Amino acid sequence: MLTALVLLPTAMAVLLLCVPRGAPRVLFPAAWAATAAAELVLTVIVWTGHERGGGTWYETRARWIPSAGISYHVGVDGLSLPLVAVTCVLFLACAAYAWRETRRPREFAALFLFLQTTCLGLFVALDLILFFVFFDLSIVAMYFIIAAWGHKGAARAALKFFLYTFIGSLALLLGFIGLYLAADPHTFDIVELTEADPLAGRTTYGALVLLAIAVGLAVKTPTVPFHTWLPPAHTDAPAAGSAILAGVLLKMGTYGFLRVAMPVLPDAWRDHALVFVVVGVVSVLYGALVALAQTDFKRMVAYTSVNHMGYIILAVGAAGAVGADQEDARRLAVTGSVFQMVSHGLLTGALFLLSGVLYERGRTYEMAAYSGVAGRAPVFAALTGVAAFASLGLPGFSGFIAEFQILTGSLGPAPVATGLAVLGILLTAALFLRALQQVLLGPLRLPVAAPGADRPFADLRVHEGLAVVPLLALGVVLGLAPRFVLDVIEPASRTVLDLLRR
Amino acid sequence: MNGTTESNAVRALTAMNEMTGMNENPLDLLPEVLLAASAVLGLLLGAWLPRRRQWLVGALAGAACAGGLVAAAIAATTPVETAFGGAFALDTLSATSRIVILGATLLVLALAAPRLYADPRETEFHVLLQLSSVGALTLAGAQDLLLLAAGYLLASVPAYALAGFRKDGPGTEAALKFYVLGAFLGVLMLTGITVLLAAGRTTAYPVLRTELAGAPTGLVAAGTLALLTGVLFKAGAVPAHFWVPDAVQGSSEPVAAFLTTIPKIGALVAFYRLAVVPLADADLPWAGLVAVLSVASMTLGNLAAFFQQDVTRLLAYSTISQVGYLLLPVAVAGRTDLDQEALLYYLAGYALTNLGAFAVVCALPGARTVDDYRGLARTRPALLAALVVCLLGLVGTPPTAVFLGKLEAFSAAFDGGYAWLAVVAAVNTVASLFYYLRWIAPAFLASGPAGGPGAMSRSAAVIAYGAATGSVVLGLLGGSVLDVLGGPPAP
């Protein structure tokens, strides 16, 4: 079941590449959207079919490279299932958004389908090498998307993205090898490694392995000081690419902390939890402050991603902080961090797609070039407003639930850090309000180069609306009735904490 | 003092006596014999055949390689032993190198044959190629220092001629540099063998193992260093790498593919065998020495490749850096259980991937520089896909074969207590990504000149597709391949 879910998009991508040259252009987005929809249906089936309570579902394990301790081992649990779902939703939204892509639509669709395989594969992987394979392939696919369909300067940004994240992935690989050699018998299997806890009592070795893994994941997340690849990559990527990059690829880093670093290295994690708390808070504040200084709308959204990812790092760090009596608080922190991944995926995905709409109309992301857009494009303005308010954590949206849980959960174990992190919310509120005011309100002013003389700023088109509205609607649903997702996450976060307490 | 010398001499003698009693069955060397016989037969045939029929010599060479592959595969199932007085090892190391070398030679023949059709010197090319391959096979199986020297010469001398085969300016320069360096290091290697003979009083590996353990360290160290220069020359590793870029750039593309792949396999297996048999018990800082060589190779190769415009020169430096990674398992030889699998698997993956990259270069004879590949995505998308797979494969992107090879090599280095070496190799891998992307990016992104990079050689393109697919398939089937690479080396 999961194998089909993972491999279906790539199979479709291969089919698309084999289609003869003269095929009508519309075939490619249609096939892409159909596949993405099928993936979503499959995910719904997986979601409704799983048993309640904890554990791993749909587990499959096949021999792959037994002599090197590598197997094809996949399964979903409460940590990965919400992320699988959000991946499928976002890819469907991107398929809708890119309906009118005219530059090499065949390759565009094929790359996105392949990228979907790598994202889903990573979230369901229960073997470190399988995890790494998908981790690396996602970088390759995203490199080509940014480089070939991005804006001016995309080649440079893509190269930076590739080099940065690739160095991260190699650090990750070295950490994985360290784990592999520590286990007896040698294995890359996450489940076996989790049970064995191979580095219990080996402080230095454990710290070094954690360092390698944490650096690898922190580059991908990204946290300060490894975040410098993110703004150029986002600014120059096509809108759909940015949405996936922020919505799904960044989650690979934070998911890795919950899936690999915490359960497999509990001792080292507890010893160094404070480092993660500090890095988290610095990311929250630094991301927000730098975002506040941006004049470029997309760059600003990119920096708020650093801010939002910072909350997750803060939460996972706080969950490992000493003091075993605050069990409930720490569970809240872990649950909140998973919920934040889902929420950020939906909301930031929507924001990046909306910024793509803005760019498509005005050919610039500079906020100073726009004013009073609300009068000309009310639907666009309304949706941007909703997305911005949701992203800054207004109650009633998913972001509020996530950040509330994270901050409440972290307050006990790390009071000072959490107090500082709250300031981040204030900063995000300020910067989003300022951006909305600049772009949407005031007298009408549009960039001179805007194409189409009679209606220089057309309102949202149907396919764009179809992409953005469901994302925001889901954000509202999760904000009002989060229970159905929390029920899935909570048993898994309890398991993570049990493993951490060993 | 006298007593021990005497007993050692007696032991050596008895060992030799035992060995002469062992097999001298030429069928044990069937792959080597087939290839050598086909070279001789091809030379005779070529003298009588009309020019338009000379392709038969190439076909004969291909048939010999294919026959050798079958023979090697059958021989691989027999238990470990040695042939011809213990001079030639028949173990997993030589069996795997036979299969990889013969397979790679077959690919090079297929790359070269269409270009050489009705060439005045078609026969000579095929003969030289086969003889050099026999040399590489000999290097891989040699269990005796003198046979190692013979393998070195057999692998080198025809290769000098191949490097200058085009008889043009760059080709002559390439051949001259290659020859001068090769001759010099060959002499140095023979000196090393003489010194080791003085230290161990024999050239047979198993006896050397016990003899060198008690021999004066300075003598052994000096001999080993001199011996290694020759091996490093064939492997194209720093500090004996100076010939690689010029020879690769100056010779024709199939020859460049050959020079950077096939002798390397033989040399690295010989290197590994030296580490695990004759020098295993010698009191040398082996791991440290090889680790330094490895770091130097990968770093220098990568740095030099950074801003190359000529694609063959870029690939030449890339092969130097690849030798650095390949030396990882050699450095920790004997210190871990993973070394042999790592080396052999990486060699197989490297050979296939590197030949694939060269096949793409062969497929576009008009494109010499990175800029000539601009816009390949529009004109030749399939060829670009093969190039991307091969180049990212050389970086070590999963799931290609080199990825698994690197994983094994890194694991071996970690396990052997050389974690820092694995870290350096990882950093170098990232650096190498830069220049591969310098080649891929314009091919994928930019729009090229009208008409694209010129004509495409269809046969070379097919080989490129095959090699690219093969490197992915080999990576995915890594499990079953790794399982058969673990046998013990011949004692």
Q: Do B441 and A147 touch (CB under 8 A)?
A: yes
A174 with B398: Cβ contact below 8 A: no
Q: What one-letter code names the amino acid at A369?
A: A
What distance in Å separates the CA atoms of residue B174 and residue B164, rounded to the nearest whole number? 6
Confidence of residue B451 (pLDDT cuts 50, 70, 90): low
Average pLDDT score over residue span B231-236? 94
Angle between helices B311-331 and B401-415 (to 10 degrees): 40
Instruction: Indicate whether B13 pLDDT > 60.
Output: no
pLDDT in tens, B325-354: 999 999 999 888 889 999 999 999 999 999
Provide the shortest C-alpha distance from residue A242 to chain B (in Å).
Answer: 19
- pLDDT for the residue numbered B22: 57
Q: Report the run of H or E that residue A239 belongs to, with start and end.
A: helix A239-244
Q: Which residues are CB-neighbours of B177 under 8 A, at least 6 positions away?
A: B242, B243, B246, B247
pLDDT digits (tens, 9 = 90+) for B133-185: 999 999 999 999 999 999 999 999 999 999 998 888 889 999 999 999 999 99
pLDDT of residue A265: 92
Say which of A65, A133, A163 has its CB closest to residue B430: A163
Q: How far is B266 from chain A (nearest CA, A)?
A: 25
Q: ipTM of this model?
A: 0.83
Residue with tokens 């540099």: B177
Mean pLDDT of B195-215: 91
Distance in angstroms (rounded) separating the CA atoms of residues A74 and A55: 13
pLDDT in tens, chain A (502 residues): 889 999 999 999 999 988 887 888 889 999 999 999 999 999 999 998 887 777 888 999 998 888 888 999 999 999 999 999 999 999 999 999 999 888 888 889 999 999 999 999 999 999 999 999 999 999 999 999 999 898 888 888 999 999 999 999 999 999 999 999 898 888 999 999 999 888 888 888 999 999 999 999 999 989 988 999 999 999 999 999 999 999 999 999 999 999 999 999 999 998 899 999 999 999 999 999 999 999 999 999 999 999 999 999 999 999 887 665 678 888 899 999 999 999 999 999 999 999 999 998 888 898 988 888 888 889 999 999 999 999 988 899 999 999 999 999 998 888 899 999 999 999 999 999 999 999 999 888 888 765 554 456 788 889 999 999 999 999 999 999 999 999 999 999 989 888 888 7
Name the β-bridge partners of B82.
Answer: B89
Q: What is the 3-state secondary structure (H, E, C) of chain B?
A: CHHHHHHHHHHHHHHHHHHHCCCCCHHHHHHHHHHHHHHHHHHHHHHHCCHHHCHHHHHHHHHHHHHHHHHHHHHCCCCCEEECCCCEEECHHHHHHHHHHHHHHHHHHHHHHHHHCCCCCHHHHHHHHHHHHHHHHHHHHECEHHHHHHHHHHHHHHHHHHHCCCCCHHHHHHHHHHHHHHHHHHHHHHHHHHHHHHHHCCCEHHHHHHHHHHCCHHHHHHHHHHHHHHHHHHHCCCCCCCHHHHHHHHCCHHHHHHHCCHHHHHHHHHHHHHHHCCCCCCCCCHHHHHHHHHHHHHHHHHHHHCCCCEHHHHHHHHHHHHHHHHHHHHHCCCCCCCHHHHHHHHHHHHHHHHHHHHHHHHHCCCCCEHHHHCCHHHHCHHHHHHHHHHHHHHHCCCCCHHHHHHHHHHHHHHHCCCHHHHHHHHHHHHHHHHHHHHHHHHHHHCCCCCCCCCCCCHHHHHHHHHHHHHHHHHHHCHHHHHHCCCCCCCC
Cα A70 to its chain centre, rounded Å, is 26
Query: Which residues of chain B does A140 touch, with a Cβ-Cβ cutoff of 8 Å?
Result: 392, 397
pLDDT the model gives residue B1: 41
Quick one: pLDDT at residue A454? 46
DSSP string spanning A102-169? -SSHHHHHHHHHHHHHHHHHHHHB-BHHHHHHHHHHHHHHHHHHHHHHS-TTHHHHHHHHHHHHHHHH
Compute the distance between CA of residue B19 and CA of residue B114 in angstroms, rounded to an integer. 46
Residues 6+ apart with CB under 8 A from B3: none
In the predicted structure, residue B7 carries a pLDDT above the cut 90: no
Would you call the peptide bond into A413 cis, given omega within 30 degrees of 0 as the criterion? no
Interface test mutation site (partner B, options A6, A67, A73, A208, max chain B beta carbons within 10 A) = A67
Residue of A248, A258, A188, A246 lying closest to A492 (CA atoms): A258
Contact A170 B430 (CB under 8 A): yes
Tokens 């949405």, residue?
Answer: A243
The rounded distance, in Å, linking the Cα atoms of A356 and A468 is: 11
Cβ neighbours for B184, distance < 8 A, ≥ 6 positions apart = none
**Chain centroid to CA B220:** 26
Give me the pLDDT at residue A362, please: 84
- Counting other chains too, the contacts that A152-155 makes at CB distance below 8 Å and 24 or more residues apart are A152/A236, A153/A232, A153/A236, A154/A236, A154/A237, A155/B441, A155/B445
Pick from B411, B430, B445: which is nearest to A155 by CB?
B445
pLDDT score of A325:
65
* Domain range summary for chain A, segments of one domain joined by +: 272-448+457-502
pLDDT of B19 over the 60 cut: no
Tokens standing for A480? 């009002």
* pLDDT surpassing 50 at residue B79: yes
Structural contact between residues A393 and A428, judged by C-beta atoms closer than 8 angstroms = yes
Three-state DSSP class for residue A99: helix
Please tell me the distance from the alpha carbon of residue A58 to that of residue A120, in angstroms, as a whole number: 14
Give the residue from B411, B423, B477 with the most A CB atoms within 10 Å of its CB, the best one to mutate: B411
Q: Which amino acid is at A385?
A: G
Q: CA of B485: which chain A residue's CA is closest?
A: A67
How far apart are alpha carbons B355 and B373 in whole angstroms? 18
Residues whose CB falls within 8 Å of the CB of residue B377, separated by 6 or more in sequence, listed in order: A107, A148, B384, B443, B444, B445
Residue A410 C-alpha from the chain's centroid: 21
B-chain residue closest to A63, CA distance = B479
Enclosing H/E stretch for A244: helix A239-244
Q: What average pLDDT does the structure give for chain B?
A: 89
Question: What percent of chain B stands above pLDDT 90?
Answer: 67
Centre a 10 Å sphere on the Cβ of residue A56 and count the other Cβ atoms it contains: 19
Angle, helices B55-75/B30-48, rounded to nearest 10 degrees: 170
Measured between beta carbons, which residues in chain B are less than 8 angstroms from residue A167? 427, 430
Mean predicted confidence (pLDDT) in B230-242: 93
**What confidence tier does B17 reach under pLDDT thresholds 50, 70, 90?**
very low
CB < 8 Å to A137, chain B: 397-399
Q: Which structure tokens are listed for A446? A: 């549009």
Residue A470 in 3-state DSSP?
helix
Task: Note the pLDDT tens digit of each residue in B350-404.
Answer: 999 999 999 999 999 888 898 888 888 888 889 999 999 999 999 998 889 999 9
- Are B273 and B143 in contact by the 8 Å Cβ rule? The answer is yes
Report whether B107 contacts B129 (CB < 8 A): no
Contacts 24+ apart (CB under 8 A), A433-438: A433/A388, A434/A292, A435/A297, A435/A300, A435/A367, A435/A388, A436/A384, A436/A385, A436/A388, A438/A367, A438/A368, A438/A370, A438/A371
Token reading at B233: 């020359």
Give residue B40's pLDDT band: very low, low, confident or very high (50, 70, 90).
very high
User: Which chain A residues are Cβ-neighbours of B411 within 8 angstroms?
Assistant: 68, 177, 180-181
Helix (H) / strand (E) containing A62: strand A57-65
Question: Testing the interface with B: which of A65, A172, A236 to mutate, by most B Cβ within 10 A?
Answer: A65
What's this model's pTM, rounded to 2 decimal places?
0.89
**Ramachandran class of B62: left when φ > 0, alpha when ψ lies in -120 to 50, beta otherwise:** alpha
